[in-house]
Chains A and B, each alone.
Chain A
Amino acid sequence: MSLDTAPDVKASRERPLGRKRKVGRFALPTYSWLVIAYLVFPIAVMIAYSFNRVIGGLQLVSFSWNGFTTLWYQQWSNVPGLTAAFWLSIRLALVSTVVATVLGTLLAIALVRYRSQKFRGKIAVEQVLFLNIAAPEIVMGASLLGLFVTLNIGRGFVTLVLAHVMFSIAYVTVTVRARLAGFDRSLEEAAYDLGANPLTTFRLVTLPLIMPGVLAGALMAFALSIDDFVTSNFVSGSSDPFPVWVYGATRVGIPPQVFVFGTFIFMVGIGFAFLSIVLARKKS
Chain B
Amino acid sequence: MDESVLTDHPRGVAKERHSSGWGKKFAPYLLSLPAGVWLVLLFIVPLFILLVQSLETCSPATGACVMTWSWGELPHQVNLYHQQFVTSLIFAAFATIIDLVISFPIAYWIAFYGGRRKNFFLIMLLVPFFVSFIIRTIVWEFILSNNGFILTFLRTQHLVPSGFHVLGTSYAVIAGLAYNYLPFTALPLYVAIERIDRRVLDAAYDLYANRREAFLRVILPLSMPGIFAAFLLTFIPAFGDYVNQEILGGTANTMVGTVIQNSFLVNFDYAGGASLSVVLLAVALLGIWLYARLLGTSTINEYL
Q: Measuring CB to CB, which residues of chain A are less than 8 angstroms from any residue of chain B?
A: 1-6, 10-11, 13-15, 17-20, 23-24, 28-29, 31-32, 35-36, 38-43, 45-46, 49, 61-65, 102-104, 106-107, 109-115, 118-119, 122-123, 125-140, 142-147, 149-150, 162-163, 165-166, 169-170, 173-174, 181, 183, 185-186, 189, 192-193, 198, 223, 226-230, 233-234, 242-243, 246-247, 250, 254, 258-259, 262, 265-266, 269-270, 273-274, 277, 280-281
- CB pair B247 A250 closer than 8 Å: yes
- CB pair A143 B132 closer than 8 Å: no
- CB pair B18 A181 closer than 8 Å: no
Instruction: Encode contact with A along B34-63: 1 for CB under 8 Å, 0 otherwise.
Output: 111011001111110110010000000000
- Give Cα A31 to B45, complex, Å: 45
Task: Judge if B159 is at the interface, Cβ distance under 8 Å.
Answer: no
- CB pair B139 A42 closer than 8 Å: yes
A199, chain B: closest CB distance, angstroms = 11
Which among B44, B109, B182, B232 is the interface contact of A32 at CB below 8 angstroms? Answer: B109
- The total of Cβ contacts below 8 Å across the A-B interface reads 325
Known: A143-B50, A246-B132. A24 touches B280 (CB 8 A): no
Question: What residues of A have a CB within 8 angstroms of the CB of B120 in the complex?
Answer: 277
Q: How large is the interface on B (under 10, 10 to 19, 20 to 34, 35 or more residues)?
A: 35 or more
- Give Cα A186 to B14, complex, Å: 10
- CB pair B42 A163 closer than 8 Å: yes
Task: Judge if B250 is at the interface, Cβ distance under 8 Å.
Answer: no
- CB pair A28 B105 closer than 8 Å: yes
Q: Could you write out 9 A-B pairs with CB less than 8 Å apart?
A: A15-B198, A17-B198, A45-B142, A134-B233, A138-B280, A143-B46, A147-B42, A147-B46, A223-B129
Task: Count chain B CB atoms within 10 A of each CB in A23, A138, A147 and give the residue with the most.
Answer: A138
16 more CB-based (< 8 A) A-B contacts, given A18-B211, A107-B32, A273-B130: A1-B304, A11-B118, A18-B202, A42-B179, A49-B139, A63-B145, A110-B31, A114-B7, A134-B232, A137-B237, A147-B42, A169-B39, A186-B9, A269-B129, A277-B123, A280-B119
Interface on chain A toward B: helix, strand, loop, or mixed SS?
A: helix
- Give Cα A259 to B134, complex, Å: 11
Instruction: Encode contact with A along B285-302: 1 for CB under 8 Å, 0 otherwise.
Output: 101100010000100110
- Give Cα A114 to B9, complex, Å: 12
Question: What residues of A have a CB within 8 angstroms of the CB of B247 in the complex?
Answer: 250
- CB pair B148 A63 closer than 8 Å: yes
Which among B115, B148, B260, B288 is the interface contact of A138 at CB below 8 angstroms? Answer: B260
- CB pair A107 B14 closer than 8 Å: no
Task: Judge if B220 is at the interface, Cβ distance under 8 Å.
Answer: no
Q: Which B246-288 residues sit within 8 Å CB-CB of chain A? A: 247, 257, 260-261, 264-265, 270, 273-274, 277, 280-281, 284-285, 287-288
Known: A18-B202, A46-B139, A181-B6. A24 touches B109 (CB 8 A): yes
A46, chain B: closest CB distance, angstroms = 5
- CB pair A130 B128 closer than 8 Å: no
- CB pair B42 A135 closer than 8 Å: no
